[in-house]
Structure formats: C-alpha cells, structure tokens
Structure 1
Amino acid sequence: MSTETLPANESTALASELAQARRRRRRSIAIFVIVSLLNVALLAVLWSQLLTPAPGQNSTNSQTAPAGFSGPMVGKMAPDFRLPLLAPGAGSHSSVALSDFKGQAIVLNVWQSSCEPCQREAPVLQATWQRVQGQGIVFLGLDFQDNRNDALSFLQGHGITYTNVSDSSGATAISYGVANLPTTIFIDRTGKIVGWHEGELTVQLLEQGLKLLSH
C-alpha cells in the first residue's frame, strides 16, 4: 500500500484546521449541554409551580373541607337547577329551584328510596332540620332516579317534612359530581359548596357539616 507525504506547510495547515474543528466541536457540545441544563431547570421550576397550591389554598381547603367533607365540587359555586316538587298532591307544574333559597345556607341531600344508608340517615336529617330550621338553614332532598310512588312512600314512612325534589333523569346529581348514595352537600349563604360527605350521615357528622355553613 503506497502513501504520500504532504509538504510541511500543508501538514501544518491541516493540523491547524483539525485543531480549530475540534475546538468548534467542543464549543458546540458545551453550548448544547448548557442549553439542555437550562431547559431542565426551567421545566423543574414550571413543574414545581404546577404542584404548588395557590397562596392560601391549603388553609382554605382545611377550613372548608376537613376530613370526611372534601369532594370534587368543594370551593365551587353550586350549580342552579329547577326540578319537580316531590310531595303528595304536588301538581305536574310544581317545581323548586336552588335559587329559590338564595341567601340561605343549604344542606342538599341526594338519596334514593331503595338505598339502605339513606333509610338509616333519614331520621337524623329530619330531627336536625326540625331543630335548625329557624336559623336560616334549608334542608333540601334530591331524590335520584327513583320511582315517584316509592319516593313518596319513603318520605311518608320516615316522616320527612323538609322540601324534596325529584331528579328522575339523574342529570342534576351528576352535574354535582355525585357518584354514590347517599351524598350530602353543604352550600353556604353565598352559594359556594363548602362541604361534601359521601355516605351515611350520623348526628356527629351532620353537626360537623353544619359548622362549615357558619364560616
């Protein structure tokens, strides 16, 4: 295999060009590394901001949604609705809207006649409502996808006298994010949801929920 020796001046020029090329490559690599590190740092800052609650968010949630009273709608304004009144002798045009109780605190209880926990908590709701109804607190029952006659029998059997409405399609309960029965939603006088309890209410739990309405 034959080789050819370059003249000294050409060899020196080639070596110089190679050295410059290596320096340019090192600079390019250094710039790439620096830019990459800056991008990683920027992403880390953005990610930490996404994970950090807004100022005051933790304290607000701890005040309005203690253990057992947090839910998907807590802190949001309660969606308004108008539904047929559920009461013996109520005409087909009789209806009730959430906005009818504007300025009052509301305990919205979502139930169904075949729901056993709903049956057990019904006396607790009725007794508590009788005690607090003079304090500007409204109890409102939302009967979910139920047979009307079964629902009326439920109300009569448990002696329920506070207002109830029929959510026959289930659309209203779904708009509130209700996934299980019973669910009780506590709405303050401004219309904001401040508490959410999924499951059977006891006297103690209901009292805790009522305290949220006075904040």
Structure 2
Amino acid sequence: VFDVYVAEQGFRSLWRGNSATVIRCIPNQALNMLFRDKFRITLLDGIDWRDRPFRFVLGNLAAGGAGGALTLLVVYPLDLARTRLAVERVDSVRNISQCFSLVSANEGLPGLYRGFCASLVFTVVSRAVFFGIFDSIRLSMDEQRRRRLSFFTTWSLAQASLIVSSLLCYPLDTVRRHLMMEAGQSKKLYKNQFECWKGILYNEGPKALYKGALTNSLRCTSGALILAVYYEVLKYL
C-alpha cells in the first residue's frame, strides 16, 4: 500500500487528509467528553455500581453513545472531508475547502452529510462500547483509588477499551466510509446502508469488512492519550 501511494502520488500523499484529521480532532474529543459527562451525570445520578451493576454499565454505555451521536452531528462534514482527502486520487481535491465545494456543487449542503446515518450507527455503537468499558471499570473503583491511578495505567485502560471497540465495530466503519466516498459523485453504487452491506459481502466477501482493521486499531491512540491527559489534569483541579 505504501509503495503504491508513493509511486503514484509521491511521498506527501501519505499525509493526505491529515490537516482535516487534526482540525476535526480538537472539537471531536472535547465535545465527546463534554456531552458524555453531561449524560453520565443525568443517567447515573445516585447510582452505585455495587447496588445496581446492570444499570451502572447500561448508563455508561448510553452516555457514551449519546455523547458520540451529538458530537458527530457537529463534526460530520469534517469527518467526510478527512475520509475523502485521505483516499481521493483526483488532483482537483487537495484541501478541505475544495472537498466541500465539490460535494456542495453536486449535491448541495445535504451532500456534506452523505452517509450520516451509517456513521451515526457506527459512532453510537463504538462510543458506547469504548466509554462503557472504560467508565465502568474506572468508576467501579473508589475515588481515592481513582486519584492514585498513574497516567500510564489510565492510558492503558483507555487504549485497551479503544482497541476492543475499534475491532468490534470495524465493519460498521467500513460501510460508513464506503458511503462517504460517494458524496459528490454523480453515479452512486449504493442507495443506503443495506445495499452497501450487501454489495461489499457479495462482491468482496466477509473479509472485506475487516480490511485494514489491524492498522486502524494500532493508530487509535490519540483518543486514549487525550482521555488519559484529561483525567491526569483533573487530579490537580
């Protein structure tokens, strides 16, 4: 893969879409944690995990999923641009503004939310699994023990939760990226999520749903690091 990209588009092509990723990362992580904390306070107010463990875990799953859904509504156009720029081989699409212009010209503003429903399913499930695992384990500890957790321990827990989430939900991610790539295209292969699932399975087989899953799980470090830094800073506030 590296050789193909470098040979066809040059070494700089390996960083295509990186600016959109960086710009998206800041509001995405900030809003994720803000909304998740708000939902968690509402859903788990007065709930002790020792007395109601099922409600405790379910509340963490719901808070993570709901927070992810609201965040996606805000940052989705940047997510679409990031995906398109990373894999698009057309020279006319070089940056975020050009990507937005191309999509808007062909489909209008609704085109910037092409594939949103598929992304919503992926985001809700993946955020629910990630924060459900992380928060359920972390909050099952008493407050004194939580404050003693080292940065490395918190990061390791977050990273493990993120890897589990990314591997479990990767087929959903594959479908959403396929639909994103059709934004701004005059001819579309898939009308909806169902057709996309059917097309991938029929044309490429079940393994195609997990193509790139290992690489994706290894690169999912920024979210875990930001979460670890967030809780490390809270110790001193």
Q: Indicate the TM-score class for this superposition, using the shorter chain for normalisation.
A: under 0.3
Greater per-residue helix proportion: 2
Q: Which has the larger share of strand?
A: 1
What is the TM-score of this pair, normalised by structure 1? 0.24
Q: Which has the larger radius of gyration?
A: 1
Larger RCO, structure (CA 8 Å, separation 6 or more) = 1
